[in-house]
Structure 1
Amino acid sequence: MLETLDPTRLPIHGGDATTVIVTIDIDQLRKEAGIAQILGGTPITAAEARRLACTAGIIPAVLGGSSEVLDFGRKERFFTAAQRRALLLRSATCEAEGCDIPGTWAEAHHWIEWAQGGPTDLDNAALLCSHHHHRAHDAAYLHERLPNGDIRFTRRR
C-alpha cells in the first residue's frame, strides 16, 4: 500500500502526514535477512524496511534487549520537491541502463543509504523506476554508476 498510494492524496492528521513505525531488534538489523515488524502489522524483512524507508513515511525504531528503544529514526531523509525537479532535469527517465520509464514515475534513491549516513542531496541521488529501485536494495544484485551516468545492475554470482 505504501508504494502504490500517492502521498499527496493521503489524509493529514494533526499537521503530519500519516507515518508508519517499523520496529526491529538490533541483532535482526545487523543480519542481511533480518526481520522487522510494522507497528500493528505483519513482519517484513530488514531489507524491505530499508527499501521502503527510501520513499514512504517510515520511522525506524531499533530495539535492544527487553524491547528497549536504542534508536528512534527521523524522517528528514526525503528528497524535496525542488530536488526531485532537479533530478528530472538531470535524468528524464529511470537512470538504470537501458530503462526508459519516465522520471516522473521514478523514485528518488539514496546512492549511499540514508541510514548509513548518506546525505539527501543531488550528488547522492538516483532516479529509479520501482523495478530498478527494488534491485538497488536486493543483495542478489550489484549496481555501479557508469561514466555516462547510467546505473548498471548485475546479478551476483
Structure 2
Amino acid sequence: CELIENYPRNNAPKLGRTDGTFITTTTFDLLTTALGTATLDDGTPMAAAQAMRLACEARIIPVVLGGNGEVLHQGRARRRFTAAQTYALHARDKSCTAKGCDWPPGLCHAHHDTLFSQGGLTDIEDGRLLCPHHHARAHDPAYEMKVHADNKVTFHRRT
C-alpha cells in the first residue's frame, strides 16, 4: 500500500494513454464496514480493509449501477486532502496523532476521522495525521479508534 500511495504519478507507466489506475469492485456494505473481500479488475481478491486504505489516498469516483448495469448515480471524486489542508494538519498536529507515536508530519498520512465512504468531509476539522502503521490500524475492522480531548487517538481491539 505504501508504495502505491507514494509512487510519483507523473512517473507511472501509461497504457492506452491512461496512468496506472486501481480498480476494485465491492459492495457498498463491504466498502463502509471494511469486512470481507474486494476484487481487483483482474479477478484478484483483496481484503476490503486494504481496499479502503488504498482508497483513502486515491481519487475515488463511486458509481451506483442498476440491475442492467446502467449508471444510476456517479459520486464525487475529491477525496484527498489538498496540499494546503495537509500543511495545516502538519502545523496543527505536529506528528502522528496516535498517543505515544512521534512520527514527523512529513511521513504521515492525512486521514478522515469520519470515513469518506461514510460521509466524512475532506476538511481539517475532520482530518488528522497518522503514520502508516496507525493509518492501517484506523482502517482495520478489528480495531476501534477513539479520539480524546487532546486530539490524540488510541486504538482498541474490538471484541
TM-score over 0.5 for the pair: yes
Q: Is the 8 A contact 1:22 1:36 kept in 2?
A: yes
Q: After the TM superposition, which residues 1-150 of structure 1 pair with which residues of structure 2 at under 5 Å, given as runs?
A: 1-7=3-9, 9-10=11-12, 18-26=20-28, 28-29=30-31, 32-40=34-42, 42-61=44-63, 72-150=74-152
User: Over aligned residue pairs, what C-alpha RMSD do you find?
Assistant: 3.0
**C-alpha distance in 2 between matches for 1:36 and 1:115:** 15
Structure 2, unpaired ranges of 5+? none
CA 1:29–1:135: 2 relative to 1, 3 Å: closer
Percent identical across equivalent pairs?
45
Structure 1, unpaired ranges of 5+? none
SS of equivalent to 1:123: helix
SS of equivalent to 1:2: helix
Per mean C-alpha deviation after superposition, the further-off stretch among 54-63 and 97-106 is: 54-63
Shift in Å at residue 116 of structure 1? 0.8
SS of equivalent to 2:23: strand
Shift in Å at residue 47 of structure 1? 1.9
**C-alpha distance in 1 between matches for 2:66 and 2:47:** 18
**C-alpha distance in 1 between matches for 2:123 and 2:51:** 21
Shift in Å at residue 42 of structure 1? 2.0
Equivalent residue number for residue 153 of structure 1: 155
Q: Provide the TM-score with structure 2 as the length reference.
A: 0.79
Aligned length: 157
**C-alpha distance in 2 between matches for 1:141 and 1:111:** 14
